[in-house]
Structure 1
Amino acid sequence: MKYVKDSEWLLNHLNDRNVRIVDCRFSLADSQMGNINYLESHLPGAVYFDLEKDLSGTVVDHGGRHPLPDVDVLVSKLEKAGISQEMTVIAYDNGEGAFAARFWWMLQYLGHDNVYVLDGGFKNWLDEDFPVTADIPTFKREDFRVGLRSELLATYEEVKDTVAKQNKVLIDSREAKRYLGLEEPIDKKAGHIPSALNKPWMEGLSGGCYLPASKQLQRFSDLDSNQPIIVYCGSGVTAVPNFLALKEAGFEKVKLYIGSFSDWISYEENKIESSS
Structure 2
Amino acid sequence: MNFVVNKDWLAEQLQNDQVVIIDCRFELGNPDKGEELYREDHIPGAYYFHLEKHLSSPVTKHGGRHPLPDMDQFKLELEKAGIDHTKTVVAYDGGEGQFASRFWWLLTYMGHEKVYVLNEGFKGWVQAGYPTTKEVPTYQTAEFEVNIQKEMLASYDEVKAAVEDKKNALLLIDSRDEARYVGEIEPIDRIPGHIPGAINKFWGEGLEQGSFKNEEEQKKRFAELGQEGPIIVYCGSGVTATPNVIALKMAGFKQVKLYAGSYSDWVSYEENPVEKGKKG
Q: Please confirm whether the aligned pair reaches a TM-score higher than 0.5, indicating the same fold.
A: yes
1:35 and 1:148 map into 2 onto residues whose CA distance is 28
CA distance in 2: counterparts of 1:167 and 1:200, whole angstroms: 21
1:246, distance to aligned residue in structure 2 (A): 0.3
Q: How far 1:220 moved relative to its partner?
A: 0.2
TM-score normalised over the length of structure 2: 0.97
Whole-angstrom CA distance in 1 between matches of 2:9 and 2:162: 41
TM-aligned CA deviation for residue 227 of structure 1: 1.1
Post-superposition, which runs of at least 4 consecutive aligned residues in structure 1 deviate over 6 A?
none
Identify which range, 81-90 or 95-104, moves more after superposition: 81-90
Q: CA deviation at 1:167?
A: 2.3
Identity %: 53
Aligned to 1:213: 215
User: Which stretches in structure 1 are left out of the alignment for 5+ residues?
Assistant: none
Code of the residue aligned with 2:52 in structure 1: it is E
Q: TM-score by structure 1 length? A: 0.99
Deviation at 1:139, TM superposition (A): 2.8
In structure 2, C-alpha distance between the alignment counterparts of 1:275 and 1:106, rounded to whole Å: 32
Aligned to 1:19: 19
Cα distance, 1:140 vs. partner?
A: 1.9
Aligned residues: 276
How far the C-alpha of 1:65 sits from its partner, in A, is 0.3
Pick one of 230, 233, 253 that aligns with 1:231: 233
Q: Which residue of 2 aligns with 1:78?
A: 78
Computed over aligned residues only, the root mean square deviation of the Cα atoms, in angstroms, reads 0.9
Partner of 1:102: 102
Deviations 1:133-179 (A, max 9, x none): 00000132100000000100000000001112232000000000000
Which aligned pairs between 1:70-149 and structure 2 lie closer than 5 A? 70-149=70-149
What is the alpha-carbon distance in structure 2 between the residues aligned to residue 191 and residue 140 of structure 1?
A: 46
Whether 1:33 and 2:33 are equivalent positions in the alignment is: yes
Unaligned runs of 5+ in 2: none
CA distance, structure 2, for counterparts of residue 257 and residue 86 of structure 1: 29
Helix, strand or coil at the partner of 1:16: coil
Question: Which letter does structure 2 place at the counterpart of 1:257?
Answer: Y
Equivalent-residue separation in structure 2 for 1:201 and 1:74 (angstroms): 25
Q: How far is 1:58 from its partner? A: 1.3
SS of the counterpart of 1:122? Answer: helix
User: Which of 201, 204, 211 does residue 202 from structure 1 map onto?
Assistant: 204
Asked whether the equivalents of residues 182 and 277 of structure 2 are also in contact (C-alpha less than 8 Å), the reply is: yes
Partner of 1:65 in structure 2?
65
Q: CA deviation at 1:275?
A: 2.8
Q: Which residue of 1 aligns with 2:184?
A: 182
